[in-house]
Chain A
Amino acid sequence: MTLALNLDRKAEAAAVVHSHGVPHRRIEEWKYSDLKSALGEKGLGAVTAGWLVGNLPSGVEMFDLAQPDPPPWVMDHFARPTQNVMRAASLVLSAGGVALRVPAGAQIADVLKLDFTGPGHVRGLLVLEGGAALTLVEGVGQKNIETDFRNVGFEIVLGEGASLEHVRISPADGQAVLVEAASVHLAARAHYRAHFAGFGSKLSRMELDIALEGEGAEAHLSGVAVLDAHAHSDVTTHVIHRVGNTNSTQLFKHVASGSARAVYQGKVTVAKGADGSDSNQSAKALLLGDAAEADLKPELEIFADDVKCAHGAAVGDLDAESLFYLRARGIPEGQARGLLLQAFLEDAVAEIGHTDLRERVAAELLTALKAVA
């Protein structure tokens, strides 16, 4: 890459990668997802993965990060300093990616379809300027080919009053190790709504660092996972309320059968002085398999006093009472279980604002549930 600016940032990122090494289970944040052992001897590698924009709605500007002479908006926002080892790695170990920009005030009606493809590291940058609005979907394009490991470093910047709906579908992908480390910065009154539907792979991890940096900023995260066999899915979020009168909600529902493992780690930080912050986290998992495992770590870190923060977490089996009720009304057990699983996931899916995408996720869940119920 020829971004002059990048040389310094790359050096910083290299230092972060160097000091952390490949994350493994003795590192607190990676306690439940041992990337080092999943990658084995191959390690992180230094291949650049590909990307594909299925359709570029008019009004959205695109720049190939592998090209010289990036426009100023890329220079302004690309490669913010980070301590996140995987985001740093994607900067150091890749030579490409995509940058997208929605200019101030542009309301984009068409869904932007973005896919990262193939093995290696790759970067993404999405900038929504003040008052812009966009729906972004990842994972509905072409199926991955021969991907053993991919690491996506994604930066999202939302200007004042900007609004983004981000839906990411991670199809079941057997032996792949898939990591995406996204950072989202929200200015005042910006809204970020994200939904992550995961069907698991050898190791699949979605990391999200969300900073609410202006008053009235809101982040609403939801997700579902339906995992079978040896699938592993990890959603790790960190929402920071940097200023007051900000709001965040999280609702994650995971189903693990076989010997699958569903991980949710969610940390909410309310910075000193960020009074009037509201945060609510809910994470629930259902275990269907004898060797399935669910790990939940909803964390609160509060440095301001005028706040309302709550989290709830639960792990269990399908409710026996409900199951009996359905069967007593003539619904066969398998179908009754399916119905209850669907109901369990329903409220998280309902969080998706875009109707077509919501229906698409619901349909994929239905298919996946048939395999596990």
Chain B
Amino acid sequence: MLEIKNLHVAVDGKEILKGLSLTIGAGEVHAIMGPNGSGKSTLSYVLAGRAGYDITQGSILYKGEDLAALAPEQRAAKGVFLAMQYPVEIPGVTTMTFLKTALNSQRRARGESDLDAVGVLKLVRAKAKTLNVSEEMLKRALNVGFSGGEKKRLEILQMAIFEPKLAILDETDSGLDIDALRLVAEGVNALRDPSRAMLVITHYQRLLDYIVPDRIHVLAKGRIVAEGGKELALELEAKGYEHIVKEPA
């Protein structure tokens, strides 16, 4: 599904990722853990195609296709979804309008026909229920005045609606209390599917208690420095990053 080879990424001329390699197959859930400043968010942004993140070396293949050649909206239409650490507030655009526009844009790009307003409403309502996203939230401007938990729930709701093939969750646990975290994690788990790959990016092991990964990769100073099964998270929790980062990769 996703094959990253020797990826080097620079931001403002400063190299952040320095030769990262990673492969995720369909149906797998991988976690990237790492200390602050290790390049976790850079990885998520470069996968989603944010401007200003320059690939200086290496490649990203998504379903065998060069991801870097695609605009952000093309990636989204092809099934790449990034749940952002800080979802953007957009005053003046209601959440419902946004969802409808995004959904139909993706459908159109794939050559599918638009869903009409009633169809979208039905779909959104059905999915919103399970994530405890209220009608009232959908009427408000996108993320404006939403609490941290509401913003994250809305990100997962979008994931449920768009049904991506590759979902990247960037620090989805940040700013959530334990109840909100459980709700979000349940939403994510419900979307685990043999045809879907997920990349969960987190600083803490906590989230991985709820979303149990198949593989864990430890990112430090722009490189993967350790890899292992879910037990690696516990080791990290016990010994800290320092310990692992110091060992030669």
Whether A328 and B49, one on each chain, are in contact in the complex, defined by CB atoms closer than 8 angstroms, is yes
| Residue B48 is within 8 A (CB to CB) of chain A in the complex | yes
| Residue B82 is within 8 A (CB to CB) of chain A in the complex | yes
Closest-CB distance, A350 to chain B (whole angstroms): 9
Whether B158 and A329, one on each chain, are in contact in the complex, defined by CB atoms closer than 8 angstroms, is yes
Residue of A nearest to B50 (CB): A324
Whether A328 and B76, one on each chain, are in contact in the complex, defined by CB atoms closer than 8 angstroms, is yes
Please, what's the 1-or-0 string for A323-338, where 1 marks a CB less than 8 Å from any CB in chain B? Answer: 0111111111101100
Whether A322 and B88, one on each chain, are in contact in the complex, defined by CB atoms closer than 8 angstroms, is yes
Residues of A within 8 A of B162 (CB): 329-330
Given contacts A320-B51, A327-B71, A343-B93, contact A332 B105 (CB under 8 A): yes
| Residue A107 is within 8 A (CB to CB) of chain B in the complex | no
- A352 to B101 Cα, complex, angstroms: 25
- A325 to B151 Cα, complex, angstroms: 13
Q: Of B87, B92, B93, B106, which one neighbours A330 at CB under 8 angstroms?
A: B106
| Residue B109 is within 8 A (CB to CB) of chain A in the complex | yes
Q: Of B88, B102, B141, which one neighbours A331 at CB under 8 angstroms?
A: B102
Whether B101 and A339, one on each chain, are in contact in the complex, defined by CB atoms closer than 8 angstroms, is yes
How many residues of chain B are within 8 Å of chain A by beta carbon?
29
Whether A327 and B84, one on each chain, are in contact in the complex, defined by CB atoms closer than 8 angstroms, is no
Please, what's the 1-or-0 string for B197-235, where 1 marks a CB less than 8 Å from any CB in chain A? Answer: 000000000000000000000000000000000000000
- A328 to B155 Cα, complex, angstroms: 12
Whether B82 and A328, one on each chain, are in contact in the complex, defined by CB atoms closer than 8 angstroms, is yes
Closest-CB distance, B127 to chain A (whole angstroms): 15
Whether B88 and A325, one on each chain, are in contact in the complex, defined by CB atoms closer than 8 angstroms, is yes
How many residues of chain A are within 8 Å of chain B by beta carbon?
24
Given contacts A332-B105, A335-B101, A339-B101, contact A327 B90 (CB under 8 A): no
Please, what's the 1-or-0 string for B70-92, where 1 marks a CB less than 8 Å from any CB in chain A? Answer: 01110111000010100110111
Whether A328 and B48, one on each chain, are in contact in the complex, defined by CB atoms closer than 8 angstroms, is yes
Closest-CB distance, B191 to chain A (whole angstroms): 16
| Residue A346 is within 8 A (CB to CB) of chain B in the complex | yes
Whether B101 and A331, one on each chain, are in contact in the complex, defined by CB atoms closer than 8 angstroms, is yes
Whether B109 and A322, one on each chain, are in contact in the complex, defined by CB atoms closer than 8 angstroms, is no
Residues of A within 8 A of B73 (CB): 327-333, 336
Apart from A339-B98, A342-B92: 12 A-B pairs, beta carbons within 8 A: A322-B90, A324-B88, A325-B84, A325-B88, A328-B75, A329-B102, A329-B158, A332-B71, A335-B101, A339-B101, A343-B90, A345-B92
Please, what's the 1-or-0 string for A303-320, where 1 marks a CB less than 8 Å from any CB in chain B? Answer: 000000000000000011
Residues of B within 8 A of A326 (CB): 90, 98, 102
4 closest A-B pairs by beta carbon, nearest first, are A343-B92, A330-B76, A346-B92, A330-B106
Residues of B within 8 A of A347 (CB): 91-92
- A346 to B97 Cα, complex, angstroms: 13
- A294 to B90 Cα, complex, angstroms: 23
Whether A333 and B71, one on each chain, are in contact in the complex, defined by CB atoms closer than 8 angstroms, is yes
- A320 to B102 Cα, complex, angstroms: 17
Which residues does A use to contact B, with CB under 8 Å?
Answer: 319-322, 324-333, 335-336, 339-340, 342-347
Whether B88 and A330, one on each chain, are in contact in the complex, defined by CB atoms closer than 8 angstroms, is no
- A336 to B101 Cα, complex, angstroms: 9
Closest-CB distance, A116 to chain B (whole angstroms): 32
Please, what's the 1-or-0 string for B91-111, where 1 marks a CB less than 8 Å from any CB in chain A? Answer: 111000110011101100100
Residues of A within 8 A of B158 (CB): 329
- A51 to B97 Cα, complex, angstroms: 41
- A286 to B76 Cα, complex, angstroms: 27
Residues of A within 8 A of B91 (CB): 343, 346-347
- A336 to B98 Cα, complex, angstroms: 10
- A333 to B71 Cα, complex, angstroms: 9
- A29 to B144 Cα, complex, angstroms: 38
Whether A325 and B105, one on each chain, are in contact in the complex, defined by CB atoms closer than 8 angstroms, is no
Whether B48 and A339, one on each chain, are in contact in the complex, defined by CB atoms closer than 8 angstroms, is no
Residues of B within 8 A of A346 (CB): 91-93
Residues of A within 8 A of B101 (CB): 331, 335, 339
A-B contact pairs, 27 of them (CB 8 A): A319-B88, A321-B88, A324-B50, A324-B88, A325-B84, A327-B71, A328-B48, A328-B50, A328-B73, A328-B75, A329-B73, A329-B162, A330-B76, A330-B102, A330-B109, A331-B76, A331-B102, A332-B105, A333-B71, A335-B105, A339-B93, A339-B98, A340-B90, A342-B93, A343-B93, A346-B93, A347-B92
Report which residue of A329, A331, A346 has the largest number of chain B beta carbons within 10 angstroms of its beta carbon.
A329
